Structure 1
């Protein structure tokens, strides 16, 4: 949940995790107006993109663990997902990119 302040047109102008004297209206984090407000903040698109890219790495690592442990089989994935996984593996191999952190663990 977030607390917001609106302008005269009803647009969100302030967003806060805690209620303040100016931001007292409560809205859910997935409210379309909240998402639009966040997307229009300076640097927000770059932050979301960076977050998405970092999260993709987490998902790739998670898939590798599940596959290695036999929890899921590659063929359990839909064909489109299989193709995307193979494309990512190919790109990483061509560009010599691995997902191992400085401590030797999975990122």
Structure 2
């Protein structure tokens, strides 16, 4: 991405192509670029992103409950969904093994 800065050195605009005022190029994962993009999000976008993690946990718990009750089999889920759920289960298991923070829900993996 090509960026335009103000006199204070802050990013004020982006372009996919080089242009007269867009001569400095940054990598797509540059911290300054990511911070600028984050600052440009609407309050609705930010609120939605904040609920994404909680919603992912709710869906994991619903899938776990459906599997436990025999409504669905874990293998009925698409392979990418299985992989993601297993990866998250493993990460949560490692985190709970450390027990630095309590997520407060006391639900089994």
TM-score, normalised to structure 1, is 0.51
- In our comparison, the structure showing a higher alpha carbon Rg is 2
Q: Where does residue 69 of structure 2 map in the other structure?
A: 69
SS of the residue aligned with 1:95?
A: helix
Q: Any gaps of 5 or more consecutive residues in structure 2?
A: 1-39
Question: Does structure 1 residue 44 correspond to structure 2 residue 44?
Answer: yes
TM-score, normalised to structure 2, is 0.50
- State the number of aligned residues: 65
CA RMSD of aligned residues (A): 2.7
Q: Where does residue 89 of structure 2 map in the other structure?
A: 89
Q: Any gaps of 5 or more consecutive residues in structure 1?
A: 1-38
Deviations 1:50-71 (A, max 9, x none): 1111111110110011000000
Higher helix share: 2
Query: Which has the higher relative contact order, 1 or 2, with Cα contacts under 8 A spaced 6 or more apart?
Result: 1
